[in-house]
């Protein structure tokens, strides 16, 4: 009985949904604030993401005629559920809900589900902008996903395990994977930017080109869930990167470990924000070219090095 | 420019901005900073106004109206919602009675609030 | 591949002003585009006929909010010519100074808009932040950030006090430093180049066929500038270069405009240094003798032309405005053919449309 | 929506602190439009007040209109208003969107946003200063139920 209660508590509060929700809003705020500071502005107050979320929940929910209503209602939930589930396998400060051999694959799969949901949302919501945005999202998915997968395969091969917590734990004594596989980290970082559709890869939702992309026709609750799923995805993606490449919490569950983990996460977030403000948005064909001509070969080289030298 | 690196070209400016004095005004909590010359609300020195109507004649937006009831009885009405704040009335006035002061007109949910009587001149010397 | 039709506008984030496009695309390539304008047609030329010459100065100011001063300059210049009025030299200097300040403001604004359209939000923010420097100068001088109400028939309505001049110089110094940074970004930032080089090309021949004017023409190697070719106000007393480029793409237009800002700052300094003493306006009669006049000015977007016909009364019989944006609109069909949909905002921003001017 | 008790208070609080705006130019001269864009940029930065400029009507709460409404843009203005999900508010920015301003009497202008849509707050000025626009929006937010 106590096991069930603690399991429920784990999933709902820490490091489950409640914790992720708070983290997502906090990271989103930090990101906006840092971006604003770099641009010479002040940025939103700390409660801003929460206010936005509540306001959207309380707004009217409309869809245009011709949109697939059930799918449009379901897709944001699928997207959110996928990233929340992925989070259960990723150690946070050394603490993980469930871990098994091969959960890295599951995590990667769950993290790419939102991209498909995003594409379908664009395709099914009966607006030209969202259709264009959706097809761009799909093209972009193919450009970043392969290098991203290969970059994350490197550490797994090195450690000899496909479990996120093992990979994270294996670095506690020795070197961070970042130092062993710098190219892999850079590729995974770039892949993450693509995954999160952040500037300079915010191609599917390019404001000045196609409105809000696939989300153009969404409003109210659905939009709130979409935003939340993207914000949670940011958090989960950063956790994953920290665990796989930056040594996680440094082994074990301790206060210093958790603090260290938090600091590393914030550093990755800062890096994401800085990359976001430094560059102009690329065009989808430029991203595809970059993905296949530069990133994929580099990932291949990194993998070969790992297999030949490390393995 | 001596720097030739093409990746992260904006970085020095980012750092400079980060440590520069903040560019943002603290407007709602502090009063706005307006230039002295700013052409905002219209005010009239009622004692100088003779009701000649030159300002009304030259106003490009028909934002001024002179309601005349006799030689020395008139009201000068200003419609802030029509006004272009161009200052033509200031130029046209030969008595220097009208001025645009450095204060922007306030928003209002109701258009009637924009109709302001600038001068009410009752027959005093008659 | 299937064709879809994308409507852009009249409300669209890529457009600050209403304008409507129907783009037929195959995949991400545009095969055809149809343009519809007229959303901002307010019937201004008719309004000019209904109001007196004095009121019309302010109507001209509101043809366009970005290049407001140059419209009043062209209008006042025309009416002054009809009147045969001698405008005091100090007034002409002030007028020219505002023209150049407005050019800086307009080009910086445009740089920001372009940057936003290629997803370079930071440069957008910086450009608009530094634009405030010019706006501050203009507000201190004229009392208006956007609508300056400086021109009047026969002169100007504001004066530049001598103790103001060092402050203006200091602000221009600040802006000069920032311009160096912007020029660096334009020339060296790789993602910026990737989005603007080779986009929206116009050849010299196309420019001449469509009668394109202003920075767009100069970026295609056509060195035309009313300020040099037919000097008005006091441009014949200033030294400046006419900036041109050969590439004819959006990048070249960016470069031309950025360098023009630098030139304009130099001109502002010359104007402030040479500012003569004297009266600010000569008295203009309300009735204008019958006649027809053509007044040309170099607006931030190119040649602006006012034709004013008078029948001897206190209001014009006809005012016809030919704005620099009009010929540029005609080139869009050519420019948009075959390009990537993502380049549409870049091209639209690149030619710097001013629909409020074009529609009137 | 009249929320009862705490939930209603939270929703009201959220609405006041997260107004997303959509900008529509119904035929203005650009003056107010560039001042609206100016409120987003470093000098005024309305993001610190929670205001975001959205690109899709579906995401917006407040419609910021400029211009005297030309005949050609009237239908579009109404359509965009209808696309915004409730609760929604309309702000008329600038003299010409309040009353037609200097363009009043033109053959192609209707003379003000309130000829087409119910306007919740009028911001005068030609063009309205960024401060005036911010002040107007804040004044509108005060009245949100």
Strand partners, C63: none
Find, in chain D, the residue whose alpha carbon is nearest to that of B107: D123
SS3 A133: helix
End-to-end CA distance of chain A: 45
- Are the Cβ atoms of B60 and C141 closer than 8 angstroms? no
- Are the Cβ atoms of D59 and A217 closer than 8 angstroms? no
Find, in chain A, the residue whose alpha carbon is nearest to that of B11: A278
Q: C22 touching B, CB under 8 A?
A: no
Residue A14 pLDDT level (bands cut at 50, 70, 90)? low
What is the percent of chain C where pLDDT is above 90? 15
Find, in chain C, the residue whose alpha carbon is nearest to that of D105: C47
User: Rounded to 5 degrees, what angle do the CA atoms D12, D17, D20 make?
Assistant: 105
Q: Which residues from C are below 8 Å from A when comparing CB atoms?
A: 4-7, 12-14, 25, 28, 115-123, 125-126, 129, 189, 191-192, 194-195, 340-345
C-alpha span between A192 and A112 (Å, rounded): 11
Residue D71: CB partners within 8 Å, gap ≥ 6?
A: D108, D109, D110
Provide φ and ψ at C150, rounded to 5°.
-90, -40
Supply the pLDDT for residue B45. Answer: 84
- Are the Cβ atoms of B10 and A278 closer than 8 angstroms? yes
- In the sheet that holds C291-299, the strands lie side by side as C291-299, C302-310, C318-322
C-alpha span between B22 and B20 (Å, rounded): 6
Supply the pLDDT for residue B2. Answer: 39
**Domains of chain B, with CATH numbers?**
32-121 (3.30.70.3270)
Residues in chain D: 145
Q: How far is CA D114 from CA A164, B74, B110, D91, D97, in A?
A: 60, 31, 11, 10, 8
pLDDT for B100-109, tens place per residue?
A: 888 888 888 8
Q: How far is CA D73 from CA B75, D30, D67, in A?
A: 38, 15, 10
What is the percent of chain C where pLDDT is above 70? 98
pLDDT for C146-158, tens place per residue?
A: 888 888 888 888 8
C-alpha span between A89 and A109 (Å, rounded): 12
Residue with tokens 């441009």: C235
Q: For the residues B24-43, what does the mean pLDDT come to?
A: 82
C-alpha span between B51 and B68 (Å, rounded): 8
pLDDT for A130-177, tens place per residue?
A: 888 888 888 888 888 888 888 888 888 877 888 887 777 777 766 777
Supply the pLDDT for residue A251. Answer: 62
Nearest to B84 among C58, C122, C139 (CB): C58
C-alpha span between A85 and A96 (Å, rounded): 12
Residue B1 pLDDT level (bands cut at 50, 70, 90)? very low
Distance of alpha carbon C202 from the chain centroid: 20
CB pairs under 8 A between A and B: 22
Distance of alpha carbon C200 from the chain centroid: 20
Q: Which of A193, A239, A229, A196 lies closest to A79 in space, CA to CA?
A: A229
Supply the pLDDT for residue A252. Answer: 64
Mutant choice from A51, A207, A224 vs D, greatest count of D C-beta within 10 A: A51
In total, how many domains does chain D have?
1
Contact C22, C7 (CB under 8 A): yes
C-alpha span between C182 and C170 (Å, rounded): 19
Q: Which of D107, D108, D118 lies closest to D81 in space, CA to CA?
A: D118
pLDDT for A206-238, tens place per residue?
A: 766 676 778 888 888 888 888 899 898 999 899
- Are the Cβ atoms of D107 and C46 closer than 8 angstroms? yes
Supply the pLDDT for residue C67. Answer: 86
Burial C104-138 (b: 16+ CB within 10 A, else e): bbbbbbbbbbbbbbbbbbbbbbbbbbbbbbbbbbb
C-alpha span between A7 and A1 (Å, rounded): 10
* Mean of per-residue pLDDT scores for chain C: 86
Q: How far is CA C88 from CA A119, C273, C276, C278, C280, in A?
A: 66, 17, 10, 7, 6
Find, in chain C, the residue whose alpha carbon is nearest to that of B92: C54
Instruction: Identify all chain D residues contacting B108, using CB atoms and an 8 Å cutoff.
Output: 121-122, 139
Q: What is the CATH number of the domain that holds D74?
A: 3.40.50.12280
- What does DSSP say about strands D89-93 and D121-123: parallel, antiparallel, or unpaired? parallel
Boundaries of every domain in chain C: 41-350
- Chains with ≥3 CB–CB distances under 8 Å to C: A, B, D
Report DSSP state, residue A280.
P
- Are the Cβ atoms of C342 and A211 closer than 8 angstroms? no
C-alpha span between B23 and B29 (Å, rounded): 16
Report DSSP state, residue C278.
S
Q: For the residues D111-125, what does the mean pLDDT come to?
A: 88
Burial A138-166 (b: 16+ CB within 10 A, else e): bbbbebbbbbbbbbbbbbbebbebbbbbb
- Chains with ≥3 CB–CB distances under 8 Å to D: A, B, C
Residue C204 pLDDT level (bands cut at 50, 70, 90)? confident
Q: How far is CA D75 from CA A70, A235, D10, in A?
A: 31, 43, 36
C41-350 is classed CATH 1.10.3720.10: no
Provide φ and ψ at C46, rounded to 5°.
-70, -40
Q: Which residues from B are below 8 Å from C when comparing CB atoms?
A: 1, 3-7, 9-10, 13-14, 17, 23, 35-39, 57-61, 84-88, 91-92, 100
C-alpha span between A241 and A239 (Å, rounded): 5
pLDDT for A27-37, tens place per residue?
A: 999 999 998 88
Torsion, Cα of C123, C124, C130, C136 (10° steps): 180
Residue with tokens 């990101």: A31
Find, in chain C, the residue whose alpha carbon is nearest to that of D68: C42
Report DSSP state, residue C88.
P
Kindly tell me the burial class for residue C235, based on how many C-beta atoms sit within 10 Å of its own C-beta (0-12, 13-18, 19 or more): buried
- Are the Cβ atoms of A132 and C12 closer than 8 angstroms? no
- Are the Cβ atoms of C188 and B6 closer than 8 angstroms? yes
Residue with tokens 């911001």: D123
Take residue A101 and report the two structure tokens written for it. 């051999």
Instruction: Identify all chain B residues contacting D102, using CB atoms and an 8 Å cutoff.
Output: 60-61, 82, 84
Query: Is residue D100, in this structure, part of any structural domain at all?
Result: yes
Q: For the residues A74-100, what does the mean pLDDT come to?
A: 82
Q: D4 touching A, CB under 8 A?
A: no
For D125, the domain range is: 20-142
The number of CA neighbours under 13 Å toward the Cβ of A127 is 25
Instruction: Identify all chain D residues contacting A25, using CB atoms and an 8 Å cutoff.
Output: none
Nearest to D123 among B25, B83, B107 (CB): B107
Kindly tell me if the per-residue pLDDT of C218 is higher than 50: yes
Residues in chain A: 311
- Measured in angstroms, the CA of A304 and the nearest CA of chain C are apart by 30
Kindly tell me if the per-residue pLDDT of C197 is higher than 80: yes
Residue D1 pLDDT level (bands cut at 50, 70, 90)? very low
Residue B3 pLDDT level (bands cut at 50, 70, 90)? very low
3-state secondary structure chain B: CCCCCCCCCCHHHHHHHHHCCCCCCCCCCCCCCCCCCCCCCEEECCCCCCCCCHHHHHCCCCCEEEEECCCCCEEEEEECCCCCCCCHHHHHCCCCCEEECCCCCCCECCHHHHEEEEEEECCCCC
Quickly count: other Cβ atoms within 10 Å of residue A251's Cβ: 15
């Amino acid at each position: 009985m106590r096991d069930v209660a603690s399991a429920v508590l784990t999933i709902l509060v820490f490091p489950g949904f409640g914790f992720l929700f708070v983290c997502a809003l906090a990271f989103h705020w930090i990101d906006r604030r840092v971006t604003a500071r770099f641009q010479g502005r002040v940025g939103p107050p700390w409660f801003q993401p929460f206010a936005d979320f509540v306001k959207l929940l309380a707004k009217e929910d409309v869809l245009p005629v011709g949109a697939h209503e059930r799918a449009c209602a379901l897709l944001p939930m699928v997207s959110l559920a996928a990233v929340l589930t992925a989070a259960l396998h990723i150690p946070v400060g050394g603490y993980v809900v469930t871990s098994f051999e091969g959960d890295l694959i599951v995590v990667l799969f769950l993290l790419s589900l939102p991209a498909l949901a995003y594409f379908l949302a664009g395709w099914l919501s009966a607006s030209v902008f969202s259709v264009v945005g959706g097809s761009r999202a799909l093209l972009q998915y193919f450009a970043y996903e392969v290098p991203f997968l290969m970059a994350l395969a490197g550490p797994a091969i090195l450690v000899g395990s496909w479990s996120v917590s093992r990979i994270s734990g294996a670095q506690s004594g020795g070197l961070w994977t970042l130092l062993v596989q710098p190219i892999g980290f850079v590729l995974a970082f770039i892949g993450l930017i693509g995954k999160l559709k952040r500037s300079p890869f915010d191609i599917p939702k390019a404001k000045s080109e196609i409105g809000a992309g696939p989300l153009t026709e969404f409003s109210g609750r659905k939009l709130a869930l979409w935003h939340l799923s993207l914000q949670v995805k940011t958090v989960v993606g950063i956790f994953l990167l920290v665990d796989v490449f930056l040594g996680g919490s440094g082994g074990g569950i301790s206060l210093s470990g958790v603090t260290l983990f938090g600091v590393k996460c914030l550093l990755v977030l800062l890096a994401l924000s800085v990359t976001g403000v430094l560059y102009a948005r690329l065009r989808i064909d430029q991203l595809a070219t970059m993905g296949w001509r530069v990133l994929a070969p580099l990932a291949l080289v990194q993998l070969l090095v790992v297999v030949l030298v490390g393995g | 420019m001596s720097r030739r690196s093409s990746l992260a070209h904006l970085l020095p400016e980012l750092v400079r901005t980060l440590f520069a004095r903040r560019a943002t005004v603290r407007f709602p909590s502090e009063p706005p900073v307006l230039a002295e010359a700013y052409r905002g609300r219209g005010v009239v020195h009622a004692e100088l106004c003779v009701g000649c109507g030159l300002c009304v004649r030259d106003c490009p937006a028909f934002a001024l109206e002179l309601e005349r009831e006799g030689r020395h009885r008139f009201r000068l009405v200003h419609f802030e919602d029509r006004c272009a704040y161009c200052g033509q009335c200031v130029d046209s006035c030969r008595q220097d009675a009208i001025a645009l002061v450095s204060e922007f007109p306030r928003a209002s949910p109701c258009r009637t609030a924009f109709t302001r009587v600038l001068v009410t001149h009752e027959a005093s010397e008659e | 591949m299937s064709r879809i039709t994308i409507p852009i506008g009249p409300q669209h984030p890529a457009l600050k002003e209403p304008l409507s496009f129907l783009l037929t695309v195959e995949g991400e390539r545009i095969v055809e585009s149809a343009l519809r304008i007229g959303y901002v047609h307010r019937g201004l030329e008719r309004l000019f006929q209904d109001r007196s010459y004095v009121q019309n100065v302010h109507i001209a100011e509101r043809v366009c909010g970005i290049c407001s001063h140059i419209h009043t300059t062209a209008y006042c210049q025309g009416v002054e010519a009809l009147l045969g009025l001698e405008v005091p030299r100090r007034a002409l200097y002030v007028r020219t100074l505002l023209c150049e300040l407005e050019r800086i403001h307009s080009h910086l604004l445009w740089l920001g808009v372009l940057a936003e359209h290629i997803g370079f939000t930071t440069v957008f923010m910086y450009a608009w932040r530094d634009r405030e420097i010019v706006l501050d100068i203009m507000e201190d001088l004229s009392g208006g950030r956007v609508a300056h109400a400086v021109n009047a028939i026969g002169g100007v309505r504001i004066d530049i006090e001598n103790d103001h001049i060092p402050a203006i110089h200091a602000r221009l110094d600040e802006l000069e430093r920032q311009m160096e940074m912007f020029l660096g970004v334009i020339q060296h930032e790789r993602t910026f180049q990737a989005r603007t080089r080779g986009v929206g090309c116009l050849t010299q021949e196309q420019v001449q066929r469509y009668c394109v004017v202003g920075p767009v023409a100069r970026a295609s190697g056509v060195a035309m500038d009313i300020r040099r070719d037919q000097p008005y106000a006091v441009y014949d007393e200033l030294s400046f270069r006419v900036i041109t480029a050969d590439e004819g793409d959006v990048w070249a237009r960016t470069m031309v405009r950025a360098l023009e800002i630098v030139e304009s700052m130099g001109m502002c300094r010359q104007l402030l240094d040479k500012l003569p003493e004297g009266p600010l306006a000569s008295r203009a009669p309300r009735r204008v003798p019958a006649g027809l006049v053509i007044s040309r000015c170099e607006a931030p977007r190119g040649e602006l032309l006012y034709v004013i016909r008078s029948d001897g009364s206190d209001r014009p019989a006809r005012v016809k405005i030919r704005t620099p944006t009009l010929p540029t609109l005609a080139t869009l069909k050519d420019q948009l053919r075959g390009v990537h949909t993502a380049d549409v905002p870049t091209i639209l921003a690149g030619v710097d449309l001013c629909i409020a001017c074009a529609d009137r | 929506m009249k929320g009862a008790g705490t939930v209603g208070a939270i929703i009201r609080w959220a609405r006041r602190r997260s107004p997303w705006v959509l900008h529509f130019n119904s035929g203005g001269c650009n003056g107010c439009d560039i001042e609206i864009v100016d409120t987003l940029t470093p000098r005024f930065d309305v993001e610190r007040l929670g205001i975001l400029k959205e690109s899709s009507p579906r995401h917006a709460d407040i419609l910021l209109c400029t211009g005297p409404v030309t005949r050609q843009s009237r239908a579009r203005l109404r359509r965009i208003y209808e696309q915004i999900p409730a609760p929604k508010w309309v702000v008329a920015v600038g003299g010409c969107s309040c009353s037609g301003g200097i363009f009043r009497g033109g053959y192609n202008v209707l003379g003000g946003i309130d000829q087409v849509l119910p306007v919740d707050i009028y911001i005068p000025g030609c063009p309205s200063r960024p401060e005036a626009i911010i002040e107007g929006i804040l004044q509108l937010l005060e009245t949100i139920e």
